[in-house]
Structure 1
Amino acid sequence: MGRTSDARERILDSSRRLMRTRGYTALGVAEICADAGVKKGSFYHFFDSKQALTIEAVGEQWAEERGALQAAVTDADGPVDRLRALVARLVGTQRADHGESGAIHGCLYGNLALELSGQEPEVRRRLAEVFDDQVAMIARLIAEAQEAELVGRGTGAQALARSMVAQIEGTVLLARVRNDPALLDEVWPSAERLLGVA
């Protein structure tokens, strides 16, 4: 009974890790099941399809990451320090990957968005929700910083937040292509220039 009760979670954990390192298209249900140590029948007991699994895996990953990001910004003083802490947390995952495996695997959401740009509309819709949530989180911090006159006010917080998310995702992508964590050092200085940090 114990193995059955955690089979779903093991499938989700395996799929999150494998999709991040291997991608979506190249990954089959059989491989996910083998990695999770469950039979293929168990997979279909919990998930109707790989697409359904992916939607849940993305949601679970974001719930964890969102909590970690909120904890990181809670410990920082002032809106600019909170933005810096948020950026450090986002790129820190890539540094940790490189330290553990010697490879930068990129962002699960960015990787899936690139791979599935013309297919799997339900997965793309879920990814859009995650990115919208990230933008909203960053926009709130930017708005606080603008109100305190710590960053420029010429551009709206929402537009700046979208630019920050795009900048982070783009830098992570370049770091992944080159497998060079040093490129991640550019994220916060670029964000400071974008925001016009006083």
Structure 2
Amino acid sequence: MYLSLWLVRRAELPPVAPGTRHLTVAGRGLVGAAWVVYENDSVLHYNELLRAVLVRDGARPRVCITDIWVDSETSLAGGRALWGIPKEIAIFEVQRSDGVSCAAKTGGGTLAAGRYTERGSLPGRWPLAFKLAQTLDGRIKTSRVRSSASLRPARAEWTAPADSRLGALGRRAPLISITLRDFELRFGG
């Protein structure tokens, strides 16, 4: 996983699941975007590009995936049916040489492109747990997410056409970027 985070003004935050609200501090919200390459021991092998926002479900902090594309029909169907994740299909290019470069396109054109260059590594494996809030069958569906990974700070460059739903990501450098190596990810339960 290749993850970047931005602090974004409230007026530029993407729409979130009905029943949730953007979690903001001093008029800014936290937006994350990631390229994910599921391979090796993954149940499915596919690529993914997503954007997510930190939200509130009542007083509880949650994460809401606002935009997501995959190159797997099976992943698309499962994500929508099980968790209310609004997956769409895209075509991906992933190149690994002196870092990683990713690009995603749909019939409507380029969504975004990104390049990550790792800058060292942090010792050990890092756990992360949170709850996802999506809309499923007209109601908020909350799903527990647990993960762990080896973390590597990275330098990231994102570009996106102005007419892409991800156009705002290319306007400024990310606040922070990391590579999550050998990550494990579990939904539900």
Q: TM-score range by the shorter chain?
A: under 0.3
Looking at CA atoms only, which structure, 1 or 2, has the larger radius of gyration?
Answer: 1
* TM-score between the two structures when normalised by the length of structure 1: 0.22
Select the structure that is richer in helix.
Answer: 1
